[in-house]
Structure 1
Amino acid sequence: MTSFQDLDRHFGALPPERVQALVVIAEARGREEVLRRQNPAGLETLRAVALIQSAEASNAIENIHASRERIEALIADKTTPQNRSEQEIAGYRLVLDQIHANGPDIPFESRFVEQLHGSLSRFTGDRTAGKWKGVDNRVEEHHPDGTVVERFRPVSAADTPTAMKDLHAGFARAMQEGRHAPLLLVATYVLDFLVIHPFRDRNGRMARLNTLWLLYVCGHEVGRYISIEKLIEESRETYYEALHRSTLGWHERKHDLGPWTDYFLGIVVAAYRELENRTALVNGRGSKRALITFYIRASLSDEFKVAQIRDASPGVSDAYISKVLGELKADGAIEPVGRGRGAGWRRLRPDVE
């Protein structure tokens, strides 16, 4: 039933733009290895930022939110979760840590997917966690007018254990055969995982964690430094549209993996570009300052507020942000505007450093 049974139909003749995306990613991967050797201190800053953004963004896609201050404390393991949202975020951080530490070495087998799902739910007390679903589930889209639309029909609970076994066997076989680019196989796995929807809950978050895990398996570490989840959250509408287009006809093996594959490759390309843009700015000792000045320089609007800088600079204290803004003001690069709750700043020149 999985897409791995028909890979030649999906990827036998790749369109030029898909081939080009694979080439761009391969070249960027080579440069990533150089960056790791040249600027380890700067990449450590990016790693800390990515952890916060990943836990925040992946849960936000599921409408699970907490304040940035609480998220940073949970990521740093300096507090215990105080409510259900924080329990979910803490669980995501736990699995992120496991994947970042051991991703390439964890056998990519369905039993370990179950184990990681159990870790994802560790703080919630969910007794169904870490086990394939026991009842059928539905994937629906709820609109503001009250209408409900089915996004796709998941595999039944009865068929899920066999479907997951076949999915992992198909992925392992395709990787061993080496006929198709590994990243195409990652895209295939993630789509099928989402259609199977093997757990009662947290399938979307597990799909994003599996994506990070599989990138490690394929030798791509960009997800360590750039939040893949944040890029997905920022393109949420395109994400759901690509997923919808590629799941049509899945159960009848008439679906088209193209839209989803192109979206997935686009996310990986965007991650590598973001990595190169950020490492060009972050240079170890001045890394936190670079996060602030990068946001100011890259902002589409000349006017901005401290809250926007705070969101773009996870882990940077308000006191340090105020210090840098004061220095930039003294240098004539920015000026304060407004008063009270509407107060903000205005960029005076494009070369903010």
Structure 2
Amino acid sequence: MELLRQVTAEHSAAAACRLERSETSVEQTNYQRLVLELQDTAAKLPVEAATVKLIHAGLFAGSGSESAGFGSTEAADAVAEMCDGFRALEPSTEGLLLIGTFISEFLHVRPFASGNLRTALLIAVWLLNRSGYSACRYVSLERILERMDQEFRAAMTQAALDSRSSSFDIMPWWSCWLELILISYRALSTRSEALSGRRGVKTNMVLTVIGSLQTDFSIRQLQQLAPECGIELIRKILKEQKAAGKLRCIGRGPNALWRKKKMRRTGIV
């Protein structure tokens, strides 16, 4: 499962950079590192403005565009107020709704000059793990967001508006936020079933791993990512996928690489 966690963090970083249209490899590497660090230290980090600032600074470390901190005193005060409210409500409020509200308010405040969306996603990873919602360790929330429909996009846009306006309705955001979490747990359930070793499920596990990879891969990599599946099964699946026109082999021998053929995409992008 640790390898799956590592791969998920890599996919999350790539998706987050695409969502915010960042092409800086250093920032992508930083995001991947932060995802893993926030998962490991979630319970130890205090919900304070200083932690939010630290996460943002870590995202831009060494990129040539280091964070200058909060954009204004008002922004810093707003984040501090959000953190105070979170701590005060945490003992008596449903965790998912509290975290979702925090993310909504953060997107409204936009306390930094850049990187607010990625910082919000990293905060979500941190707070979800802190509250015991661990699906995002093995399922990329960022990749789910890439596939979201127009309603979800509209809810994210609305969350960035003035949440203190009398006309603001947080229910659409809560609905989409909870749907995001539900999708992640459904995906985790599917992967857990694949790990159970039931007949036919190991094949699905290999196919799921192949589907998650974004670069060329080897049989050895598939063995590492799906250790429950034997090499003969993996070879059989690769042969079937090649015959179906979904994969092609590059090179020869045990180190040969496999590449997914681009398929026409339909439905939600």
What range describes the TM-score normalised by the shorter chain of this pair?
0.7 to 0.9
1:287-335 per-residue CA deviation (whole Å, 9 max, x = no partner) reads: 997543347xxxxxxxxxxxxx4x52368823456986752376x7872
CA distance in 2, matches of 1:93, 1:229: 12
How do 1:140-289 and structure 2 match up within 5 A?
157-176=72-91, 178=92, 180-235=93-148, 237-282=150-195
Once the two structures are superposed, residues 201-259 of structure 1 have per-residue CA deviations (whole angstroms, 9 ceiling, x without a partner) of: 10000000000111012111111111111111221644320123445552434311111
Change in 2 beyond 3 A, CA 1:239/1:88? farther
Check if 1:49 corresponds to 2:7: yes
Unaligned residue ranges in structure 1 (runs of 5+): 1-42, 66-84, 134-156, 296-308, 346-353
Instruction: Give the CA RMSD over aligned residues.
Output: 3.3
> Is 2:39 the partner of 1:112?
no
1:293 pairs with 199, 204, 207, which one? 207
Q: Which has the higher contact order (CA 8 A, sep 6+)?
A: 1
What does residue 328 of structure 1 align with? 237
Q: 1:276 to 1:159 in 2, by over 3 A?
A: same
How far the C-alpha of 1:183 sits from its partner, in A, is 1.0
Aligned-pair identity (%): 22
Residue from 199, 204, 217 that aligns with 1:317: 217
CA distance in structure 2 between the partners assigned to 1:132 and 1:87 by the alignment = 21
Count of aligned residue pairs for this structure pair: 240
Using the TM superposition, give the Cα deviation of residue 63 of structure 1 relative to its aligned residue in structure 2, in angstroms. 2.1
Task: Report if aligned partners of 1:57, 1:233 keep a CA contact under 8 Å in 2.
Answer: yes
Specify every segment of 5 or more residues in structure 2 that has no aligned partner in the other structure, as ranges. 223-230, 249-259, 263-269
SS at match of 2:43: helix
Q: CA deviation at 1:262?
A: 0.6
One-letter amino acid of the structure 1 residue matched with residue 212 of structure 2:
A
Q: Is the 8 A contact 2:55 2:122 kept in 1?
A: no
Alpha carbons 1:54, 1:227 under 8 Å: kept: yes
1:101 corresponds to: 40
CA distance in 2, matches of 1:339, 1:283: 26
Question: What residue identity is the alignment partner of 1:173?
Answer: A
Is contact 1:117-1:130 (8 Å) kept?
A: no
Q: Which structure: larger Rg?
A: 1
Distance in 2 between the 1:98 and 1:328 partners?
35
TM-score normalised per structure 1: 0.60
**1:126 has 2:61 as partner:** no
1:74-85 counterparts in 2 under 5 A?
A: 85=24
- Counterpart contact for 2:107–2:160, Cα < 8 Å: no
- Contact conserved, 2:219 with 2:234, CA < 8 A, in 1? no
Q: Which residue of 2 aligns with 1:63?
A: 21
CA distance in 2, matches of 1:50, 1:291: 15
Residue identity in the other structure for 1:100 = Q
What is the TM-score with the length of structure 2 in the denominator? 0.77
